[in-house]
Chain A
Amino acid sequence: MSVLIIAEHEHGVLKNDTAKVVSATQKLGKSVTVLVAGFNVAAVAEAASKIDGVSNVIVADNAALEHQLAENMADLVVDLAGDYSHIFAAATTTGKNFMPRVAALLDKVQISDIIEVIDENTFKRPIYAGNAIATVQSSEDKHIVTVRSSAFDVAGDQAPVAVSSFDAVKENALSSFVSQQETESERPELTAADVIISGGRGMQNGENFALLNGIADKLGAAIGASRAAVDAGFVPNDMQVGQTGKIVAPQLYIAVGISGAIQHLAGMKDSKVIVAINKDPDAPIFQVADYGLVADLFDVLPELEASL
């Protein structure tokens, strides 16, 4: 029995998360099939076929799958599930949406947000906002798993493998897509960026986030935010790093005006190097920071930009 991975993609482009899920499944030593579900996704399927470790790709190219509604996605995965002992997807908002629906339809438990595969039915996952790591073993014969992609490396490249198509896609009558409002950004995506600079409540307002732009440009960084900054309306919520936002693990994370609440640390404390800039020397962020600078961010940010 082999592994089925549901590909993560957007605007006809395969996302890195998929190659990270492929590497997460390597330890299982099973053949890997990637399912690409969407509309006009031939290029995504081709990209998936070139991920090292993938044996074949199934593409379900259908207008009903254009917006990956949970009902349609779950029915599709359930239809294909029979051949696989493991079904994996990235723990993105898409994967989190349809995977538990798949699990319940198959009457299986789901293991969410794993950070390590121990063996074919044993996994490690963080609980309590990352303050504890649980090793859990499932007694199921089919494992429905979502993967924290920041915990795994991107699998390499290979010569493309075969792509086959699945046409019997069902469309549900329960839900329909209305509209999408995307946050415009020229910068790297938060979950894929090597460097992230994040602002918190200390930024005081949305305009001041512009102070981070120049530094982000020079470092090729993505810009993030704490929940406090999002709740205060400084920036949109998809910039939020934390237990309830995005989980990131870049090479360098610069926290500016962020106190370091449990909720925020849950989203970034696996970063390789953490820098904290805060005027409060007692801020909890300094307990996890490799380099701390106790100073007023409005003095420091222009100086930092100039010195890069």
Chain B
Amino acid sequence: MKILVPVKRVIDYNVKARVKADNSDVDLNSVKMALNPFCEIAVEEAIRIKEAGKASEVVVVSIGDKACQEQLRTALALGADKAIQIDTNERLESLHVAKLLAKVVEQENPELVILGKQAIDSDNNQTGQMLAALTGRAQATFASEVVVDGDKLNVTREVDGGLQTIAVNLPAVVTTDLRLNEPRYATLPNIMKAKRKPLDVLTAADLGVDVTPRITTLKVEEPSKREAGEIVADVATLVEKLKNEAKVI
């Protein structure tokens, strides 16, 4: 089985995003970038399936400018076999990303595609579901456990109120939730080895996908600030304030 893992370069999750003064966007200049945490989990899961002898090849793909090759190399160092960069300077919408990925699925023909459930920059939570729709495949979102069972997957999903297990036929699309696994760290020898692994570069035009934007961002603002609070001395004062000042209990 071949596994395809789309990954995204995003702002490091520890960095607090700052809005630009002209309200056009978030300021990403000289901000630390990293592999989206959910994508890291997706790469890890693909490698674990390969290590369990249930997959033969793990291909990683990223859409973005040359800088995203850094994240592809990270994924290669973690154990992926081959990388594809779809070169673009545009920040694409999920639908366009899904369409580009659908073309890659057509070319690479993986039995399984594993994506993160959401990117921590746009917080959309759409691409995996859209890719499943466009390729006519089953989907298993928010996975916290994936078991390969012949030509099926048993996937436990994190849903409101608990866990749900579904069975999906392969080929399928899975999106990862946080508790699916704990991603490994790349070792120095593996980072060196990753530099020699194949990395192909394609463009949106190569794949014949129209990426004309359909969403315009009119404005990006800071969320309204909360007024500074106060430190209270003891429990009695706290309860008194909640009752008489805030009137919430």
A contacts, CB < 8 Å to B: 10, 67, 69-71, 74, 92-94, 96-105, 107-113, 122, 126-140, 172-183, 191, 195, 219, 227, 230-231, 236-238, 243-244, 246, 251-252, 262-263, 269, 272-275, 281, 286, 288-295, 300, 303-304, 307-308
Closest CB-CB distance, A290 to chain B, in whole Å? 4
Is B214 touching A174 in the complex (CB atoms < 8 A)? no
With A126-B223, A238-B161, A307-B239 as given contacts, are A104 and B134 in contact (CB-CB < 8 Å)?
Answer: yes
B232 lies within 8 A of A273 (CB): no
User: 8 Å CB contacts to A: which residues of B32-57?
Assistant: none
Could you tell me if B214 and A140 are in contact, using CB atoms closer than 8 angstroms? Answer: yes
Q: Which residues of B contact A183 (CB under 8 A)?
A: 161-162
> What 7 pairs between A and B have smallest CB-CB spacing?
A174-B138, A100-B129, A128-B17, A104-B133, A104-B130, A100-B126, A182-B162
Closest to A174 in B: B138
Known contacts A100-B133, A136-B218, A237-B179; A67 and B164 CB within 8 A of each other: yes
The B contact surface, by secondary structure, is mixed
Which of the four size classes fits the interface of chain B?
35 or more
Q: Is B200 an interface residue (CB 8 A)?
A: no
B123-142 with Cβ < 8 A to chain A: 123-134, 137-142
Tell me which residues from 215 to 234 in chain B have a Cβ below 8 Å from any Cβ of chain A: 215-223, 226-227, 229-232, 234
When the two chains form their complex, are residues A175 and B231 in contact, meaning their CB atoms are under 8 A apart? no
Distance in Å: Cβ of B218 to nearest Cβ of chain A? 4
Which one of B138, B154, B169, B238 has the greatest number of beta carbons of chain A within 10 Å? B238
Option from B13, B129, B238 in Cβ contact (under 8 Å) with A97:
B129
Taking CB atoms, residues of chain A closer than 8 Å to B188 are: none
Q: If the complex has contacts A111-B215, A131-B16, A134-B217, are A238 and B162 also in contact, measured as CB distance less than 8 A?
A: yes
Asked if B248 contacts A251 (CB within 8 A), the reply is yes
* Of B65-73, B74-82, B90-98, B201-209, the one touching chain A: B90-98
**Which residues of B does A touch, CB under 8 Å?**
11, 13-14, 16-19, 26, 93-95, 98, 117-118, 120-134, 137-142, 144, 154, 157-169, 172, 177-179, 214-223, 226-227, 229-232, 234-236, 238-239, 241-242, 246, 248-249
